[in-house]
């Protein structure tokens, strides 16, 4: 498609009008530098209109790498006998929160494998502890698929947000990334349930995951634009050496950046992280993400001695430095990209109400 046409597609997206699958395909395929930089400029404009230059920080606490699932892409899947497993104690988790608060974090993300050791009661007491220590902070959970009753109990205990990437909006593709005991339907139902309960909800997918087609990505964009998540986490797929996908190529930088920009235009008020995976495939990946419409970063607050063990993919950055060092480095990066980290819960500035 001609350059003019691609720019016209970007204008349509920016104006909130619908575009066809063929148009999305043309946009995803274009390598024209002018069109791509126009897309990024539009994404920045939309992001700055709503969120200004603010970048929200989320303190990520990876509290367990035990997992009962065996997602084919993930390095901490239960079939990986080489994973060096760990669990953080309540005290260790709360220490991370204390330190994070001092450093300016007002959102804490508890992320882990699906680890039955952390019963609902344990999670609930952690949520209560954090909320009573710091009532001005948001607690985000990212602990996978649970029952409606569990989700409800977490919400009632004070959890504010839940991240559960949909991974792919195409059932056939989902089945190629997950074993038979995990279902596309259940994952999608979990997202709907979380929203119904009242959580701010984050979905998302990997870019360039094995077997992913352009049509799959278009389905992801359609899903995101319809679901209108509060947050949307996307990052490149990166192979892990001890998984069956070890020889698969990693996701592309340019495609990931383009998708960030498109998602910003599709859901203008979305909270969009420049992910660690993006920073892993390119030394300036996160800065580039911010310059393509992202407005969130999620530095690691986990104790340094476990960081390398939360190895969902190879080569993960920031596994060696203390939290204080990490936030210093990241602040400089955010500034270099033309933005500013703020001390704020960074709630979703909702402009659109999902149906
Ligand atoms: N157990 C939780 C958290 C999963 S880890 C859950 O099920 O939601 C968070 C995200 O990391 C996953 O949702 C997945 O999209 C991403 N991820 C896993 N393996 C990856 C890989 N090899 N490359 C890039 N991202 C990966």
Smallest CA-to-CA distance from 243 within 58, 59, 78 is with 78
CA of 12 to the centre of ligand 1 (A): 32
DSSP sequence for 215-242 = HHHHHHHHHHHHH--SEEEEEE----TT
Q: Which of 255, 312, 313 to mutate to test the pocket of ligand 1 (most atoms within 8 A of CB)?
A: 312
CA of 315 to the centre of ligand 1 (A): 15
* Angstrom distance (rounded) from CA 249 to CA 239: 7
The set of residues, in sequence order, having a beta carbon less than 8 Å from that of 309 and lying 6+ positions away, is 65, 83, 84, 85, 86
Residues lining ligand 1, judged by CB closer than 6 Å?
A: 73-74, 111, 113-114, 142-144, 164-165, 167, 206, 235, 237-238, 240, 277, 312-313
Q: How many C-beta neighbours within 10 Å does residue 119 have?
A: 11
Judged against a pLDDT cut of 90, whether residue 95 lies above it is answered with yes
Helix (H) or strand (E) holding 1: none
Q: Which of 66, 67, 70, 74 to mutate to test the pocket of ligand 1 (most atoms within 8 A of CB)?
A: 74
CA of 99 to the centre of ligand 1 (A): 25
Q: What CATH superfamily is the domain 53-342?
A: Aldolase class I (3.20.20.70)
50 by Cβ neighbours in 10 Å (0-12 / 13-18 / 19+) ranks as middle
CB 206 within 8 Å of CB 167: yes
Smallest CA-to-CA distance from 272 within 281, 282, 283, 263 is with 263
Percent of the chain with pLDDT over 90: 97
- Write out pLDDT tens, residues 299-318: 999 999 999 999 999 999 99
Instruction: Give pTM, 2 decimals.
Output: 0.97
Instruction: State mean pLDDT over 110-116.
Output: 98
pLDDT-derived band at 352 (thresholds 50, 70, 90) equals low
Length of the chain: 355
CA of 312 to the centre of ligand 1 (A): 7
Residue 156 three-state SS: helix
Smallest CA-to-CA distance from 218 within 156, 266, 178 is with 266
- Write out pLDDT tens, residues 199-256: 999 999 999 999 999 999 999 999 999 999 999 999 999 999 999 999 999 999 999 9
**Checking phi first, is residue 293 left (phi over 0); if not, alpha (psi -120 to 50) or beta?**
left
The average confidence (pLDDT) of the chain is 96
Instruction: State mean pLDDT over 40-55.
Output: 98
Judged against a pLDDT cut of 90, whether residue 1 lies above it is answered with no
CA of 130 to the centre of ligand 1 (A): 24
pLDDT-derived band at 354 (thresholds 50, 70, 90) equals low
Query: Pairing between strand 138-142 and 200-207?
Result: unpaired
Measure Cα distances from 246 to 54, 58, 95, 173, 281 in Å: 37, 30, 35, 18, 16
Measure Cα distances from 146 to 5, 224, 233 in Å: 45, 22, 20
Judged against a pLDDT cut of 60, whether residue 2 lies above it is answered with no
**Residue corresponding to tokens 């278009």:** 218
- Write out pLDDT tens, residues 247-276: 999 999 999 999 999 999 999 999 999 999
* Angstrom distance (rounded) from CA 355 to CA 353: 6
CA of 124 to the centre of ligand 1 (A): 23
* Token output for 233: 């986490």
pLDDT-derived band at 350 (thresholds 50, 70, 90) equals confident
pLDDT at 351: 80
Q: From the centroid of its chain, how far is CA 122?
A: 24
**Ligand 1 atom 7: the closest Cα is on which residue?**
144
pLDDT at 355: 47
pLDDT at 140: 98
Smallest CA-to-CA distance from 72 within 232, 182, 171 is with 182
CB 301 within 8 Å of CB 63: no
- Write out pLDDT tens, residues 137-193: 999 999 999 999 999 999 999 999 999 999 999 999 999 999 999 999 999 999 999
């Amino acid at each position: 498609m001609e350059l003019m046409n691609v720019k016209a597609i970007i204008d349509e997206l920016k104006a909130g009008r619908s575009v066809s699958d063929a148009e999305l395909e043309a946009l995803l395929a274009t390598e024209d530098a002018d069109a791509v930089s126009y897309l990024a400029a539009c994404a920045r404009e939309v992001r700055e209109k709503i969120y200004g230059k603010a970048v929200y920080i989320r303190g990520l606490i990876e509290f367990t790498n035990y997992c009962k699932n065996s997602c084919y892409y993930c390095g901490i899947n239960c079939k990986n006998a080489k994973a060096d497993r760990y669990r953080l104690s309540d005290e260790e988790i709360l220490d991370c929160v204390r330190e994070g608060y001092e450093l300016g974090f007002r959102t804490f993300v508890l992320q882990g494998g699906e680890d039955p050791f952390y019963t609902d009661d344990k999670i609930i007491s952690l949520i209560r502890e954090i909320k009573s220590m710091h009532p001005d902070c948001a607690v985000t959970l990212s602990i996978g698929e649970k029952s409606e009753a569990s989700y409800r109990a977490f919400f009632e205990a004070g959890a504010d947000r839940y991240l559960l990437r949909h991974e792919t909006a195409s059932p056939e593709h989902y089945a190629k990334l997950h074993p038979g005991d995990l279902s596309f339907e259940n994952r999608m139902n979990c997202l709907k349930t979380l929203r119904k309960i009242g959580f701010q909800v984050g979905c998302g997918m990997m870019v360039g995951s094995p077997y992913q087609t352009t049509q799959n990505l278009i389905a992801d964009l359609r899903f995101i634009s319809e679901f209108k998540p509060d947050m949307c986490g996307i990052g490149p797929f990166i192979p892990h050496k001890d998984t069956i996908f070890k020889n698969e190529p990693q996701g592309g930088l340019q495609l990931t950046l383009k998708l960030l920009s498109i998602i910003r235009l599709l859901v203008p008020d979305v909270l969009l992280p420049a992910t660690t995976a993006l920073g892993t495939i390119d030394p300036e990946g996160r800065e580039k993400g911010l310059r393509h419409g992202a407005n969130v970063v999620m530095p690691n607050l986990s104790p340094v001695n476990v960081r390398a063990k939360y190895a969902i993919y190879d080569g993960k950055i920031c596994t060696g430095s203390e939290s204080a060092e990490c936030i210093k480095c990241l602040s400089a990066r955010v500034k270099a990209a033309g933005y500013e980290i703020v001390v704020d819960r960074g709630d979703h500035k909702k402009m659109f109400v999902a149906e």
